[in-house]
Structure 1
């Protein structure tokens, strides 16, 4: 059996990652990118650690609030804590963007959403999904963009509300 050049590259990258990071850092990195729950066994495989090591570090991440754990039968599934992700996005937006830029962004995103609504004569991307045929590529691409815009709008509005509440508390 012949090993391709890409297999060699992947193995090299894995070896380098393992050499340059601790088992905890690798488990953290995997959980940080996990939207849907994954078992300790799957996280261990991806983080290049043993299953007991992955489970121990996942429990630590749950204890610190960075991760969430959900039971799925006899298996525990771990994923990043969505509230912490949201908090981080709001904090980053507030620190890196002016209030005027946030307001401008909110208005732009509202216009974009209205354009989707007018174009497809529906009020939500979910309603559009019910109308589309499987082969309508542009419509499906618009659903994805619409959902992303809606999420970004909610984060921007939350950042603005947080900023306003923060100013009221210090006034």
Structure 2
């Protein structure tokens, strides 16, 4: 199973996945790969479990904040909660780095963000028209730069959150 697939393809990979992972783990793996609201019946099919088991585990994950549930839809739909995943990433950063290391990284990221803002004359990467160039190479370069810029902005959010967590003994607000 590659790191980008929520579930293994077929055959031996699927049976190994089933043998090594319980139902909750399979549902969890599948939901982490879901980027838009998906019916629990579809998640059950991918996780190779009953719809009732998938719904039970998805409701538990929703209570934990890992997923968002739309129970008004029929059948109910679920998607991963990006905010939870960002908090989890920031928590790992806070555990792995000192406050000084986090601050150094934030300074580097802010410098990179400023360079992109100067290059494109805007503070918002969504304002940049990547298709305004005449040749394919320039379009590709602009698309890559805008994508990297968005990554810098995301990393800034993560490292700022990590700084708050590290500076407040794991809490977002001082205790």
TM-score band, normalised by shorter chain: 0.7 to 0.9
> Take 1:83 and 1:151, find their aligned partners in 2: how far apart are those partners?
12
Contiguous gaps of at least 5 residues in structure 1: 1-8
Aligned position for 1:63: 63
Residue-by-residue CA offset, 1:63-101 (whole Å, 9 max, x unaligned): 333322025643322122333323212221111011121
Structure 1 position 159, deviation (Å): 1.6
Give, in whole Å, the separation in 2 of the partners of 1:169 and 1:123.
Answer: 30
Secondary structure class of the residue paired with 2:77: strand
CA distance in 2, matches of 1:80, 1:132: 29
- The superposition leaves residues 127-161 of structure 1 with CA deviations (integer Å, 9 ceiling, x where unpaired) of 11xx2217511111111111111011011112213
| Contact map agreement 2:39 2:76 (CA 8 A) in 1 | yes
Q: Which runs of 5+ in 2 are unaligned?
A: 1-8
Change beyond 3 A, Cα 1:72–1:132: farther
* Alignment check: 8 A CA contact 2:36 2:79 kept: yes
Greater C-alpha radius of gyration: 1
Separation of aligned partners in 2, 1:82 and 1:27:
17
TM-score, normalised with respect to structure 1: 0.81
Residue 78 (structure 2) aligns with: 78
The number of residue pairs the alignment matches comes to 160
Give the TM-score normalised by the residue count of structure 2.
0.79
Question: By percentage of residues, which structure has more helix?
Answer: 1
RMSD: 2.4
Give the Cα separation in 1 of the matches to 2:72 and 2:149. Answer: 32
